[in-house]
Structure 1
């Protein structure tokens, strides 16, 4: 019965897990109008999706339902970050229910009742069902738990029954989405000509000599760019500059720092807590009740802060130790000895090499590549560097670091078995195969199951109410005295101690500004239709440890792109064009060998050589991977010289000195597979973007939240 109770509690969490996976699919590339009643109009429209208007009362009702579900599952109300996530979840559910459903219906995609039963208790169990109905003793999915749960469903409270209904709806939508995505993926086709072109790009090589004059050889200050030129460039390249609704602000920040008196009172509080912790009959409970930041009572060695580890060997059972400082948080500990945990903890890094597809030949190629990398590491190469260069998952940028993890099923079974079957630390001798591919693994902290009993009280030093009131009074006085941007700038000139920050191109639904994590109120003020450029907030915005007075410095409009929206970027592009024209004119007037032309041109002209360059990975020394230049040189006949031409970052004259064509292949299957695999990987993104563009989504939530 304990298991059933646990499953009942988690049914809502499972539904949320599916919803989050759908949100990730929807968000794609952007984890990126009308008036509302809050801004002086009676319009209650939160947004428009595929022509359907979403009204505030309906949207807010769904948000409240989701919030109630979150509170029931976590035992606490959502903070600002969680509330934003809940609203995003509800919004993305609308996109699924409206925009995606139209596509699904057009193709007749459905999940039948028989299919849903099969996903929950049949032969093709949905992964989320497997996750929620796992036998804690064996760590394996147990279908009998599902059946037992469903038999008891009608006797459960209505809220839990609704939670299960939402869960079933979520996995059904996930299945329909998977069907739709798979249909699109099946349309990905690569012909022999495309494969042959890719093969040639990877294997045909050329050598060349070229004269290169980079744009940066001419000082920017010597090239004047007029507004008329910027306007002309924007008019010709409007498709390259998408409009967005954004705001730019400057703001004065008034930090609230604990005074000397605040610090004295804090230390007295810490000393008293240490004495009380020493005699507390239930030290772990006492520590939890009195901590600003709660930590577990039993900690693996890896989970103990470094500053505490350094003194852990001196701890005596029953002793009080600290305070230990970490930023503004001070911690005191009561040590209760050690305990052998039922689970082991380890820290490891890996380099994942995934096959291009599920064929035996692709797997063999991936394994061969993984073993080659392993050999390099054994020969002294840096594991972290090779992970960054070769890793095919999100850990690559961190040198393959997986952090600490336990043998509790958090990793795939084959990976976990290999890791926890290895003794000590260091590079594992062979590659590890899992369903994701082949892993080169280094154990960075050996497995251990020793846990330490540490009752910790963590207190963060904070300013007193008197200090808060004093700083707020200063900020409020500043806001009243400097109500406009002009007044603010004048105040900055008079008082060099004012802390000024700026934030450019804030988006409508932004929740943070620089290091201000809960800045939604400031963003809403900036987007209020009554706020004009040059206005000051007049009111003081409160942050965790500071007060803010804001000023609006700029706006951009999605439907009216202006030069000022992209002034710096367009200026750089126009300046590069003008530099290119200037360099080209000078080079075109000079005759002779490349060296003679470079000498006559003067400072900035370089003559360089490259050998065995390919189109797919070519580098042109100083010019780098200049795509225009690579294409131009590859297209030259051997022994011929090009005309003066402009590349991505400079101007060239090139001579092709040698070329080695890739030998013809009888079978281009490998290259077809490479291109097709890349197309399939991008399918989700392209599907998502196409559906959202077609739905013409207008998001007005920023006006209400």
Structure 2
């Protein structure tokens, strides 16, 4: 690219930038109080002083959702688009600061060298060579006519630019992230130096938790002194009771009786598909044969004992009541083995781009091959290798191995299971024409073809009204005294909790995607103890806000479970340290009713103390301790230690440390994601998307 000379000129500058970024702490984001000021009303956010407009965000959001084809939710799309915008602006800002730009020539060169452009016949000469003038003319015409195709090409070129900026920056930084031989030597020493040590260990569990007092102010002080560990986004905790709309036994009986009334008409019907449609069946006609082991276990015996024309039921099958009419009874294997030669044609499914034969031409070829193999079946494998477009089976003489009844496309399946071993024929499927040879069959058994009328078991209108009334009465009772949990218990309902909901979440634990509930919980007018009834698909939910956490530092109440064990160990360590007095390990051990322990072969890479477990802090302290000096009261993860390093065994020196140097260098160059995250964390980012998606 044209930027290479700039990369070399600015490499030291960017290495300094990344160095600062990796050690920067996350700045407190600005508050959202001025969002609706005249200067902010059209902004969705800001990064390092650069505004991200609503128009820009919404346009990219719509483009992304269109590309995704409805396969992502609104909030998933919003998150992806926001992350993409941040990434582009962060990389752009870094490159601009270094005086590096991705020019039009860079984008154009990447575009015209793309294989799908080079190999498109529309942009080639008669001899098949890529003609850049034809491609330019094509783009100019699309742009002039402002076609949808031009919009797609424009988007693609913007993606090329964005990717080029990302790759340029990452390559530039990676170029400065090498390692020296001295670093390689140091890594070798750190990983392979072995320590032998003696120590006295007093566990924290030797002091009961009840003997140590932790008050709220100490928790609050710890949080303030460790702000980076306790920064949190705004969140809400809710409790809810769900009132599911479920059919009662009486509802089921009505549905069952209604189906029973159709049995006689079903028996005499001559067109089962029409019967199912006209009588409102919730299941459609299945024209495949059914095996006994795949039917409803409670009724399969009855169905297989019935005769053609009989109607079995009504019977309950999962969420349906059904009646089944036996249309056909036959004998069929449950597995078959066949070989085939697939002859596709232009327009068939999964056809290769170079297939140009018509359907008629494919049929003629398939018929010709069938004539050959009928005359000499031994040629089947050779012809499959030569003519079949199914390369996997073609390489095996056309063999498809064993398959069950439901694996193949219907017409292919019917030939293999309704024919007999040795039959050969041509069958057309969506994939083309198949020359098929039935190689074997097994487990011949009775099968039936059924027409099944089904009615889904749903609650009646009366049941729906009762469920709604229960939810409404519970909501009304909550409104009178705000005692959500007490009322739920009194009425024997089962309240559930959703803890730590974030402003842009869309899923509620136990309810799935319920963005409306999250949006309400974060509404400007919604406060702790507020409630609301929501009408969901198949249920009503009464939700109650139990807790609210604003953006900033975690409250002492929420942080207690994290902070309390830390403070307990600190206080216990102080109490234990007062007892670890003495001139030798033996004296200290005796004074504390402990023993002197020994660990040999300790390394920083494997910091496991014998009989204790992993203690990286202690082994790290041992690494730098003088030989045979007693080091007193060192706090570890499991307790307090007094130790003495008895020997330090250095590894054998290597002729050179280039292997270690290369490994360090390669590891660093693979950290581009971490580098980006470091720069993002050091950036001033204001995210106001919540204003678009919250209620009120």
**Shared fold per TM-score greater than 0.5:** yes
Cα gap change, 1:120 to 1:342, in 2 (>3 Å):
farther
Once residues 89 and 312 of structure 2 are traced to their aligned partners in structure 1, the CA distance between those partners, rounded to angstroms, is 59
Alignment size in residue pairs: 538
Structure 1 residues 36 and 60 mapped into 2: Cα distance closer, same or farther (>3 Å)? farther
Indicate conservation of the 8 Å contact 1:111/1:175, yes or no. Answer: yes
Judge conservation of contact 1:508–1:702 (CA < 8 Å) in 2. Answer: no
**1:570 match:** 563
SS of residue paired to 1:452: coil
Work out the CA distance in 2 between the residues paired with 1:473 and 1:512. 26
Structure 1 residues 215 and 254, CA gap change in structure 2 (3 angstroms): farther
Instruction: Report the aligned-residue RMSD.
Output: 5.5
Closer, same or farther: CA 472–201 of 1 in aligned 2, 3 Å: farther
Secondary structure, aligned partner of 2:46: strand
Correspondence 1:491 to 2:447: no
- 1:124-176 deviation digits (Å, cap 9, x = unpaired): 65xxx59x9899xxxxxx99799999876757982233123212211321122
Matching residue of 1:452:
408
Cα distance in 2 for residues equivalent to 1:690 and 1:145: 43
Q: Is residue 523 from structure 1 mapped to residue 518 from structure 2 by the alignment?
A: yes
Q: Work out whether 1:553 is the aligned partner of 2:546.
A: yes
Q: How does 1:160-559 map to 2 (within 5 A)?
A: 160-261=149-250, 451-453=407-409, 463=459, 466-483=462-479, 486-495=482-491, 497-533=492-528, 535-537=529-531, 539-559=532-552
SS at match of 2:620: helix
1:86 alignment partner, one of 64, 71, 77: 77
> Which residue of the partner structure matches residue 672 of structure 1?
661
Cα-to-partner distance string for 1:486-531 (whole Å, 9 max, x where unaligned): 4213314534x22122233222211212233212222222222222
650 and 146 in structure 1: CA distance in 2 versus 1, 3 angstrom threshold: farther
Distance 2:630 2:48 in 1: 55
Deviations 1:172-202 (A, max 9, x none): 2112211111111222132333322221121
2:575 counterpart of 1:579: no
Deviation at 1:638, TM superposition (A): 4.2
Give the secondary-structure state (helix, strand or coil) at the position aligned to 2:631: coil
Q: Please tell me whether the aligned partners of residues 200 and 585 of structure 2 are also in contact (alpha carbons under 8 angstroms).
A: no
Closer/same/farther in 2, CA of residues 512 and 461 from structure 1, 3 Å limit = farther
**Mapped partners of 2:272, 2:339: distance in 1:** 24
Matched, 1:691 2:686: no
Mapped contact 1:251–1:548 kept (Cα < 8 A)? yes
Q: Structure 1: which 5+ runs fail to align?
A: 1-28, 136-141, 299-305, 344-416, 423-445
Residue 421 of structure 1, CA deviation: 9.9
1:396-428 Cα offsets, whole Å, 9 max, x none, are: xxxxxxxxxxxxxxxxxxxxx99x999xxxxxx
CA separation of 1:99 and 1:493: change in aligned 2, threshold 3 A = same
**Distance of 1:449 and 1:164 partners within structure 2:** 46
> Structure 2: how far apart are the matches of 1:307 and 1:514?
34
CA distance in 2, matches of 1:199, 1:61: 53
Structure 2, unmatched stretches of 5+, are: 1-25, 122-127, 343-390, 414-449
SS in structure 1 of the partner of residue 680 of structure 2: helix
Q: Say if 1:629 and 1:647, in contact at 8 Å, map to a contact too.
A: yes
**Structure-2 separation of matches of 1:665 and 1:149:** 59
Distance 2:564 2:64 in 1: 47
Equivalent residue for 2:46? 48
TM-score, length-normalised on structure 1?
0.62
- Give the SS at the match of 1:615: coil
Q: Give the conservation status (yes or no) of the 8 Å contact 1:247–1:555.
A: yes
Larger Rg: 2
State the Cα deviation string for residues 413-444 of structure 1 (Å, max 9, x = none). xxxx99x999xxxxxxxxxxxxxxxxxxxxxx
CA-CA distance at 1:230 after TM superposition:
1.9
CA-CA distance at 1:84 after TM superposition: 1.8
Structure 1 186/323 Cα, relative in aligned 2: closer, same or farther at 3 Å?
farther
The 8 Å contact of residues 236 and 547 in structure 2, kept in 1 or not, is answered as: yes
Deviation of 1:669 after TM superposition, in Å, equals 1.7
Shift of 1:59: 3.6
User: Do the aligned residues in 1 keep the contact of 2:240 with 2:544 (CA within 8 Å)?
Assistant: yes
Q: Residues 91, 612 of structure 1: CA spacing in aligned structure 2 closer, same or farther, 3 A cutoff?
A: same
Indicate the SS of the match to 1:643. Answer: strand
